[in-house]
Amino acid sequence: MPLPTQPTLDFVTGLPKAELHLHLEGTLEPDLKLRLAERNGVDIGQSTVEDVQATYRFTDLTSFLAVYYPAMDVLQTEDDFFELAHAYLLRAAANGVKHAEMFFDPQAHTARGVPFEAVVKGYHRAAAAAADFGVDADLIMCFLRDLSAESAAETLEASVPFKDLILGVGLDSDERGNPPEKFAGVFARARDLGYRLTMHCDIDQVGSIDNIRTVLETIGVDRIDHGTNIVEDPALVAEVKARGIGLTSCPVSNSFVTDDMKAAEVAQLLRDGVKITINSDDPAYFGGYVADNYAAVAAKAGLTPEEVVTLAKNSFEASWIDEDRRAAYLAEIDRYVEQYEPTEA
């Protein structure tokens, strides 16, 4: 069976893929938010799904984060974290995700008195259980960059007893005034502890290019989250290409926090041979899981089915799995493409 002439939603949904930029707290769907609010006796100020959705008006990263953090108050027990991650992983499986490297924000919970252990154990239990439905999942612990480097360092030390449950560390939240060098010492220590390193370089920030250069040359990250402003500097594009550094783009999220999906930038980087990948970021807030993101960027940039297959291959190439599993997933993509039969007319 030849490839379809267009990368349809049906084709991209079944395409085996890895999701590498996904905030577990950003998968909190309105119905689960309401259920947990009731169970834990938390007044979130809304009582219907429509009321919750009416608060989802974002014009930039800052206005998104202002809605995102207060909602986390509903997450209190280990079981709450398990349920949140389990619900995401079921949706991911239905989106063709075979491997997920999932961000979580411990400081957003420990700052409210939730034990670190409840967060990491609940999430890890869900990650382990996802093997039953064909997803292998890992955790990446993010530091909140608008908090101090000392707070990040304390969080890093709190993670040490759970090091075997965490694959790497990342950096998220508000980039404005919080450049990567603020966390250089924390990331050096994380590297010494054996963690893989990634950092957000959000879209269209003041100093985006300087921050991308710093994460590559000073911090020495293994991957960059978002980072598509790199197209402004061909020398940095050449550097990520030569070093095989992956970028995790999130088109639907981009269209909420800026006025553009950045599809042209994704297409350019893909055609330049950079390991650019497609991901969903905070799907409960932006309304698109990973297959929707593939379909949206393909339609906007006019990507061919072959190019979409390369995006899926990039997701495993840029992932932090061992070489045997990587080869097995890449072969699974080839088999899918060979055997693909459209299920839609």
Enumerate the known binding-site residues for substrate. 282
Burial of 330 (0-12, 13-18, 19+ CB in 10 A): middle
The dihedral region occupied by 120, where left means phi > 0, alpha psi between -120 and 50, and beta the remainder, is alpha
* Minimum distance of ligand HPA from residue 51's CB (angstroms): 22
Residues of each annotated binding site for Zn(2+)? 21, 23, 200, 281
* Binds ligand HPA (CB under 6 A): choice among 16, 26, 246, 288: 26
Pattern 266-285, ligand HPA, x by CB under 6 A: ---------------xx---
The closest of 303, 295, 296, 312 to 261, measured between CA atoms, is 296
Q: Does 202 bind Zn ion (CB under 5 A)?
A: no
Residue 248 interacting entry, from ligand HPA, Zn ion, none, C-beta within 5 to 8 Å by type = none
Q: Does 101 bind Zn ion (CB under 5 A)?
A: no
Q: In what order do the strands lie in the sheet with 17-19?
A: 17-19, 97-104, 136-144, 168-172, 196-201, 223-226, 246-249, 276-278
Number of shown-chain residues binding Zn ion (CB under 5 A): 1
Residues of each annotated binding site? 21, 23, 200, 281-282
CA distances from 71 to 33, 51, 121, 265 (A): 7, 13, 21, 32
* Minimum distance of Zn ion from residue 21's CB (angstroms): 6
Is the CB of 10 or the CB of 204 nearer to ligand HPA? 204
If DSSP codes are grouped into helix, strand and coil, which group holds residue 144? strand
Length of the chain: 345
* Minimum distance of ligand HPA from residue 26's CB (angstroms): 5
> Where do the H-state alpha helices sit in 27-114?
30-40, 49-54, 61-71, 78-94, 107-110
Q: Does 23 bind ligand HPA (CB under 6 A)?
A: yes
Q: In angstroms, how far apart are the furthest CA atoms of the chain?
A: 57
* Minimum distance of ligand HPA from residue 68's CB (angstroms): 6
* Binds ligand HPA (CB under 6 A): choice among 107, 173, 228, 314: 173
Residue 265 interacting entry, from ligand HPA, Zn ion, none, C-beta within 5 to 8 Å by type = none
Q: Does 19 bind ligand HPA (CB under 6 A)?
A: no
As a whole number of angstroms, the distance between CA 114 and CA 102 comes to 20
* Binds ligand HPA (CB under 6 A): choice among 73, 83, 202, 292: 202
* Minimum distance of ligand HPA from residue 178's CB (angstroms): 10
Q: Does 281 bind Zn ion (CB under 5 A)?
A: yes
Q: What angle do CA 312, 270, 293 make, to 5 degrees?
A: 50
* Cα-trace Rg, the chain: 19
Is the CB of 98 or the CB of 226 nearer to ligand HPA? 226
Contact 190, 169 (CB under 8 A): yes
Binding stretches for Zn ion (CB under 5 A): 281
Binding stretches for ligand HPA (CB under 6 A): 23, 26, 61, 172-173, 200, 202, 253, 281-282
